[in-house]
Amino acid sequence: MTDLSRRDALAAAAIATLAAAMPAWAQTARAEAAAWDLTELYPDDAAWDKARRDTLAALAQLAPYKGRLGESADTLARALTLQSDLYRTIARIYTYASLKADEDVRIAANQEKQGQAIDLYTAFGEATAWVAPELLAAGAGTIDGFIAGNAALKGKFDHYLANVLREAPHTLSPEGEALLASATSPLAGPGDISGQLRASDVPWPTITLSTGQQVRLDSQGYTLTRDAPNRADRKAVFDAFFKTYGDFKNSFGATYAAQVKGDIFIAKARKYPTALAAAISGANVPEGVYRTLVAEANAGLPQLHRSFELRRKLLNLPDLAYYDMYPPLVQLDRSFPLDQMRTLSMAAFQPLGKAYVDSFAKASAARWMDPLPRPGKRPGAYMNPGAYDVHPYLLLNLSDKYDGLTTYAHEWGHAMHTLLANAAQPFEKADYPIFLAEIASTLNEQLLVAHMLKQAKTRQEKLFYLGQQIEAIRTTFFRQTMLAEFEMAAHERAEAGQGLSGEAFTTIFHDLLVRYHGPKVAMDPVYGNEWAYIPHFYTSFYVYQYATCIAAAAYFSHAILTGGAKERDVYLGVLKAGGSDYPVEILKRAGLDMTTPAPYRALVQLLKETLDQAEALLG
């Protein structure tokens, strides 16, 4: 599987201008951390633009193959190779433009370049819209015969062709496919508009903290202050931030309603029963995986609620509210400079073997990442798979605290996954689906916390790292499943013919917050506006995969840490498989069946055991 949606989804944080000044530590460290080198993609903007224009013109080379795909195996192989080569070039063009755009979101010319790259994807979709219908017209018998008799088809395109045949009931005529391809840009409108609202149009409030510091509560200001040590400050941050979203919930409600209706339009056009079925069909994920995840997360809520009581005790609070969710359970007075992040990650990754660690050491010493925050830079963190013929790139905004270290290990997990898949697979089979993507990153976080726990010398340190494990499960498994349940509820409401509005979305989200956090966590109704803050909702039915992936990562990390080379190699085989098969099947071959409750119950059990350890340390 190779498509824009996966590449963009890995970078799904909203585009917004950094309002805060660069931290003092980052100003000192920046001289030691050279940013990425994009000349490996294109030497300059002129070379990029020439490649873009040449590729746009080259799309016409596909037209002579129209009506001939069923002619012979050799003809089909040549057509698919041309299609693949064009896509390979477009991916490189998009990578350069998107990375340039994110270096400083205030530079309009670079934002325009990214728009041109996306338009090129759209043009490619229109130019190839006839391919799948024509393959289906040739018939499974003909296509299977071609694959058996042609090395290129068998080695590069067998999975792609099998997937096209599988999707036959949902493939339209050439004209219909071309029409849907043309709709890509307008259907992206709701996400674009909501992002613009957040970035430039909403008048974010400025509040004064107990320290005297004034903070503008845009998305970044909220993220930086929601864990304030002073409880009254936390409450003030939450109340002001989510009240502002509430003030604009009609506008955000209109954008998200349009997103939901667009999803339903695509589902109906492709003859899927629901938007959920349409969204997960591309990677052939059974719908039962999604619904089993939601059911098992709800069944595990008693352990989550138990973690909240531990949080209350460790924070020494008389009660607990939603605004108390982000302060660390235990303080750790330790900084992690960038070079130490690399050293600690290398040590933590030792269970993955010498070849993995050596490859990471070489890659992390190169200029593949932009690590530190600065004004204008896109916030958040992501790994861009880059160009198959070059290497991945990482955008980071690292703090010098433990969260910066975990982000570093997480995003390098994505990068190593990409390197392993690219080395083991041809371009056509290298790009792994999102359902697998977060396993490598989350597993690296788990190896890191296991390493840090081993090194911890005091009860305080041990409690800190156990707290990190608890929080990872809370935020990545339970919170992401809660968000996935919201998406499902919003779409099902629309599919049932019920009205959509910001008010309705706020009610649904507030009810979920209350259920997931339990009766002992105070939940002001204004916090129900949080749905409008989540940009991931504009990549529909995406977030559930964070939850499935942490369950899979926990399975593999336990096997690796308690086993040996065999268990390690089974896991690395998952990474090397890339997109050569459907993700659920790749995991089944590795001994993990995500269609059953077992992986999710095992993760809830890990939370229970971690809570047991923390409570034993408290005495």
Residues β-bridged to residue 216: 206
Q: Which H or E element spans position 66?
A: none
How far is 516 from 126, CA to CA, in rounded Å? 44
Query: What b-and-e string marks burial along 207-233, b requiring 16 or more CB atoms within 10 Å of the CB?
Result: bebeeeeebebbbbbbbbbbbbeeeeb
Which residues sit opposite 87 in a β-bridge? Answer: none
Residue tagged 């008010």 (tokens): 503
With the C-alpha atoms ordered 256, 258, 260, 266, is the resulting torsion angle positive or negative?
A: negative
Q: H or E element: which one contains 216?
A: strand 214-216
Amino acid at 178: A
**Per DSSP, what are the bridge partners of residue 208?**
214
DSSP 62: G
543 contacts 435 by C-beta, under 8 angstroms: no
**Cα 10 to Cα 438: distance, rounded to the nearest angstrom:** 9
Rounded to an integer, what distance in angstroms lies between the CA atom of residue 141 and that of residue 137? 11
If one counts every other C-beta atom within 10 angstroms of the C-beta of residue 93, the result is 24
> Residue 171's CB: how many other CB atoms inside 10 A?
19
- Residue 87 to residue 427: CA distance in whole angstroms: 10
Residue 197 is classified by DSSP as I
Tokens coding 509? 């989200």
Distance in Å from the first CA to the final CA of the chain: 51
Buried b (16+ CB within 10 A) or exposed e, 369-397: bbbbbbeebbbbbbbbbbbbebbbbbbbb
Q: How many residues does the chain have?
A: 619
Q: Enumerate the active-site residues.
A: 411
Helix 249-269 and helix 231-247: axis angle, to 10°?
60
DSSP-derived pairing of the beta strands 521-522 and 206-208:
unpaired
Sign of CA dihedral 555, 561, 563, 567: positive
3-class secondary-structure state, position 374:
coil
Distance from C-alpha of 475 to C-alpha of 470, rounded to nearest angstrom: 9
